[in-house]
Amino acid sequence: MRTPKRIVILCLSLALMALAIPFSPASGIPAFAAVTPAAVVHYTILVDSRAVTFDVAPSMRNGRIMVPFRAIAESLGIAVTWDQKTGTAHASGYGKNVSLQVGNFTAQVDGLAVRLDVAPIILDSRTLIPLRFFSEVFGCAVLWDGPALTVRISSPVRAMEVSAWYAMDGNWNGLFGSDYPVAAPGGTDAIGTVIFGWYEMNDAGMLFTTGTKGWKKPVGWADALAPVRQYGLHADFCAYMTDGNDGTGGSGPLTRMLANPYARQNAVIALVTESADYDGTNLDMEGLGFSDTGEQLTAVRQGFTDFVKLVSESLHAAGKTLTLTLHPTNGAYKGYDYAALAPLADRILLMAYDYGQKPERYQLVHEAIDSALMLVPKEKLVLGISFASETPESLTAKLGLAKQHELAGVSLWRLGLMIEGDWAALRSSVRPIR
């Protein structure tokens, strides 16, 4: 059946009239800001190699990808507010302040007017903004992969603390890019602190360097320390101890040391004495609270906190820093009172790895950061990343998490495991503070 010509003309006229209506009297927001969904095409948006989840799917408008404002801003670590009265989205981060109004082809960037190719719209009760403009105005690199219908966004390089673990075996070449004892610049531009893992502690509170890990303090160890200073890097030493070599926790050597006042005092003296050659101490005492519950768990946590208080006071009196390397808040070991430990340490290093999957599950790492930030200021929290569990792509995603949350920094285990792609991902994501 043919449609009468007058009906076609009437429908077309109504459509044109709808597009011509300039404002909604109720809100003052342009009525054409609220639009109907476009044809279903699935676009993927990757920020730092990680797919962003949207509750309203990205869509194409006038040749521009439009995405929900809040979701893309938060994935980039950009603070956002929404002015319902004027229909204006405000965003701030990376030294920029940006405002976009629904239906308005002019954005405000640091108070200056900037013309947009397409105005923000409202779709399914969400404000969608032009993705490329928003990303690039904050300094992101944006690549469009047409065949894959994918946008790849790299967030701006952020300055933060970058530390890397060192224990001689394979790590000299990893750091200096040449064989021992030649010290070329290598990767020294990409990190700010080297953590020397030569030390273990026993249940008597004594440090030793021929322990179970195989990280032995080498003859001529000062030859490793000297070039670190030469390239302007900080140097920390790590004192490692676990509550059982089987990793199951329980009443092991760490528990015994913490319960013995003489051993605790020995440990404090040993840590302060050894710290004289370094800028700071990294206390890595693992395995507490695996099977403890109730009052016993409370006692374990209090015992460790009391010990850290003694160490903190003594190291700070000697002008040295203290970093605590701790199991993740969503891990199996619950013997660490993050809230009580945070004021005692200069840094809390979150070992958000060893969850049992490679690469480490992004969501679990994200969860660990979020829960730790409820107890530790972001200025003190450092994300630990294990290269044994990551690829260059997943490393980029984990570094993106640290940037998104504005953490104090990242710590990399370890130099000898890093490949060329890891160094490239590191350099393109963060700049070390020294």
Q: How far apart are CA 141 and CA 132, in angstroms?
A: 9
Predicted pLDDT of residue 351: 98
The pLDDT tens digits for 156-199 are: 999 999 999 986 667 888 899 888 888 999 999 999 999 999 89
| Cβ–Cβ under 8 Å, residues 48 and 155 | yes
According to DSSP, the β-strands at 88-93 and 409-413 are: unpaired
| Cβ–Cβ under 8 Å, residues 176 and 423 | no
| Cβ–Cβ under 8 Å, residues 29 and 21 | no
Residue 329, C-beta contacts closer than 8 angstroms, at least 6 positions apart: 338, 350, 368, 371, 372, 375
Predicted pLDDT of residue 222: 83
Q: Which residues pair with 59 in a beta bridge?
A: 66
Q: How far apart are CA 209 and CA 218, in angstroms?
A: 9
Predicted pLDDT of residue 35: 55
Residue 21, C-beta contacts closer than 8 angstroms, at least 6 positions apart: 31, 32
All structural domains of the chain with their residue ranges: 23-154, 158-432
Q: How far apart are CA 82 and CA 391, in angstroms?
A: 37
Q: What is the CATH number of domain 158-432?
A: 3.20.20.80
H/E element holding 172?
Answer: helix 171-176
| Cβ–Cβ under 8 Å, residues 63 and 81 | no
Predicted pLDDT of residue 24: 40
Taking the alpha carbons of 41, 156, 132, 401 in that order, is the dihedral positive or negative?
positive
* 156 residue type, one letter: P
Predicted pLDDT of residue 25: 38
Q: Under CATH, to which class is 23-154 assigned?
A: alpha beta
| Helical ranges in 318-383 per DSSP H | 338-341, 362-373
* DSSP code at position 156: P
Q: How many residues does the chain have?
A: 434
Predicted pLDDT of residue 429: 97
Backbone angles phi, psi at 73, to 5 degrees: -65, -45
Low-confidence ranges of the chain (pLDDT < 50): 1-3, 5-32, 245-249
* DSSP code at position 410: E
Count of Cβ atoms closer than 10 Å to residue 141 Cβ: 13
Write out the two tokens for 79.
């603070």
Q: How far apart are CA 131 and CA 68, in angstroms?
A: 9
The pLDDT tens digits for 193-230 are: 999 998 999 999 999 988 777 677 877 788 888 999 99
Q: How far apart are CA 383 and CA 221, in angstroms?
A: 28
